C-alpha cells in the first residue's frame, strides 16, 4: 500500500489501525503544510483502506472546523523545493502544498483579521460573557453560604466549591460549544492527589477543565483575585496565587502546592506559563514536575484541542463556532522532574499533532 508523509512538527505516528503503513513528520512553517506521497497524493491502495481513512478522519475532526477551512488551495512543486522523502531518503517526484488554517490552530490568526471578525462571533462573545456573569452571581451566593461549612469539614480539597464551579462552567459553555472527552478512565480516583498539566490555548481552557469535576487547585495571577465575584470565588476555592515575575512568590507557590498535595488535594499547572500566541506548544517549565517528584504523586497530562479556534488568545471578545476535545492521558510517575517534564510534553505534543493531522486529512477528503 502507499504511505503518506505529512510534514508538521517533528513526531512520527504509526496509524496501522486506520490503514496506514507509517506517517513521517518533519518541521513546517506557519500555515503551509507540505504533504509528500509516492506518485502524488494517495491515501490508500484500496477502496476498503480509503473507507477506513474517512472513518478515522470523521472520528477525529469537528464539523465546525471543516466549515471554517473551506477554500483549500494546492499546487505542485519541483523536487528542488522539497528535497526530502522520509521513506526512501530520495527526492520525491512531486509534492503537494496545502494552505490550511488548521496549521495555526489556537492563534489570533486562526479565523479572521480583527477588522473582519463576523458580527455573529462578536454577538456570541457578548452573550457568552452575559451568561457567565449571570450564572456566577447566583452560584457565588450559594458558595458564600456553604463556605463556613467547607472550611470546617473540607479545608484543603473543598469539593463542594469545586462542584459549584463545575455547575458554573457547564451552564456557561453548554449553549455555545460542545465538549468531547476521551480517556476519562485515566483520571485518578477523586480522593487521590495528583499533579495535572495541560497545554494552554485560550481563556476557555479553565471553563473546559472545570467541567471535569475534579477538585484541583489552579495557579492564578494575584491580580485576578481582585475581580468581583469571579476573583472572590477563586479565593474561596483555594486557588493558589502567583506573581509571575517575583521569584519569592514562585517559591511560595510551589511550597503551597506541595502542602496541598500532602493534605490530599490536587493541583493543576499550565507548564507553558501562558497562553500560546502562535499555536505552537511552548517549552514546559519544570515547577509542576518538581512538585510531583518531591511529593511522589502521578502527573496526569491533558491535551486540549479546539479552544484556541473558538476564542483565540488576544481576541477574548469574540466566540467562534466550534467543538472542544479533552484528551486525558495515562498518569506518568517518576522521581526525575526533567524526565517527567519531557514525557508529559511529548505525550501532549503527539496528541496535538495527531489531531491536526486528522483534521487536514478530513479537509482533503471533503475537497
What does the H/E/C string look like for 202-218?
CCHHHHHHHCCCCCEEE
Q: Which residue has the higher pLDDT, 366 or 42?
A: 366
User: Whole-angstrom Cα distance, residue 262 to residue 239?
Assistant: 16
User: How confident is the model over 33-70, as pLDDT tens digits?
Assistant: 333 333 333 334 455 555 555 555 555 443 333 334 33
Q: Beta 323-328 vs 240-242: how paired, if at all?
A: unpaired
Q: Which residue has the higher pLDDT, 132 or 95?
A: 132
Dig out the grid coordinates for 338 from the structure. 526533567
Dig out the grid coordinates for 199 from the structure. 497545554
Angle (deg, nearest 10), helices 159-173 and 230-237: 140
User: Given this model, what pLDDT does residue 314 score?
Assistant: 85
User: Closest by alpha carbon to 61, among 350, 312, 305?
Assistant: 305
User: How confident is the model over 244-302, as pLDDT tens digits?
Assistant: 788 888 899 999 999 999 999 999 999 998 888 877 899 999 999 999 999 999 999 99
User: Given this model, what pLDDT does residue 287 score?
Assistant: 92
How crowded is residue 191: how many other Cβ atoms within 10 Å of its Cβ?
10
User: Whole-angstrom Cα distance, residue 361 to residue 367?
Assistant: 10
Query: What is the pTM (predicted TM-score) of this model?
Result: 0.69
User: Closest by alpha carbon to 158, among 216, 198, 94?
Assistant: 216
User: Whole-angstrom Cα distance, residue 327 to residue 348?
Assistant: 9
User: Closest by alpha carbon to 194, among 289, 95, 317, 84?
Assistant: 289
Taking the CA of residue 78 as centre, how many other CA atoms within 13 Å lie in the half-sphere pointing to its CB? Answer: 2
Angle (deg, nearest 10), helices 247-262 and 287-295: 30
Amino acid at each position: 500500500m502507499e504511505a503518506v508523509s505529512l510534514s508538521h512538527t517533528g513526531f512520527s505516528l504509526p496509524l496501522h489501525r486506520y490503514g496506514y503503513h507509517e506517517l513521517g513528520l518533519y518541521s513546517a512553517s506557519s500555515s503551509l503544510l507540505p504533504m509528500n506521497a509516492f506518485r502524488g497524493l494517495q491515501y490508500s491502495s484500496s477502496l476498503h483502506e480509503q473507507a477506513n481513512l474517512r472513518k478515522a478522519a470523521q472520528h477525529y475532526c469537528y464539523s465546525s472546523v471543516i466549515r471554517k477551512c473551506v477554500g483549500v488551495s494546492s499546487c505542485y512543486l519541483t523536487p528542488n523545493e522539497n528535497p526530502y522523502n522520509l521513506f526512501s531518503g530520495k527526492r520525491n517526484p512531486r509534492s503537494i502544498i496545502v494552505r490550511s488554517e488548521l496549521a495555526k490552530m489556537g492563534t489570533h490568526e486562526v479565523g479572521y483579521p480583527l477588522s473582519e471578525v463576523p458580527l455573529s462571533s462578536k454577538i456570541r462573545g457578548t452573550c457568552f460573557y452575559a451568561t457567565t456573569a449571570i450564572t456566577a452571581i447566583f452560584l457565588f451566593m450559594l458558595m458564600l453560604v456553604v463556605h463556613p461549612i467547607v472550611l470546617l469539614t473540607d479545608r484543603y480539597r473543598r469539593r463542594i466549591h469545586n462542584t459549584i464551579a463545575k455547575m458554573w462552567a457547564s451552564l456557561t459553555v453548554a449553549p455555545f460549544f460542545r465538549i468531547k472527552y476521551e480517556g476519562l478512565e485515566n483520571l485518578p480516583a477523586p480522593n487521590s492527589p495528583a499533579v495535572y498539566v495541560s497545554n494552554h490555548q485560550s481563556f476557555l481552557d479553565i471553563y473546559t477543565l472545570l467541567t471535569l469535576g475534579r477538585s484541583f487547585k489552579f495557579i492564578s495571577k494575584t491580580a485576578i483575585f481582585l475581580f468581583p465575584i469571579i476573583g472572590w470565588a477563586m479565593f474561596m476555592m483555594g486557588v493558589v496565587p502567583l506573581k509571575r515575575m517575583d521569584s519569592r512568590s514562585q517559591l511560595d507557590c510551589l511550597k503551597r502546592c506541595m502542602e496541598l498535595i500532602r493534605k490530599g488535594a490536587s493541583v493543576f499547572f499550565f507548564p507553558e506559563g501562558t497562553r500560546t500566541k502562535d499555536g505552537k506548544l511552548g517549552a514546559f517549565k519544570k515547577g509542576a514536575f518538581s512538585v510531583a517528584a518531591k511529593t511522589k504523586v502521578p502527573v496526569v497530562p491533558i491535551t486540549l484541542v479546539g479552544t484556541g479556534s473558538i476564542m483565540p488568545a488576544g481576541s477574548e471578545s469574540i466566540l467562534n463556532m466550534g467543538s472542544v476535545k479533552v484528551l486525558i492521558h495515562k498518569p506518568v510517575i517518576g522521581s526525575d522532574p526533567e524526565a517527567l517534564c519531557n514525557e508529559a510534553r511529548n505525550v501532549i505534543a503527539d496528541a496535538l499533532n495527531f489531531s491536526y493531522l486528522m483534521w487536514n486529512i478530513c479537509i482533503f477528503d471533503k475537497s
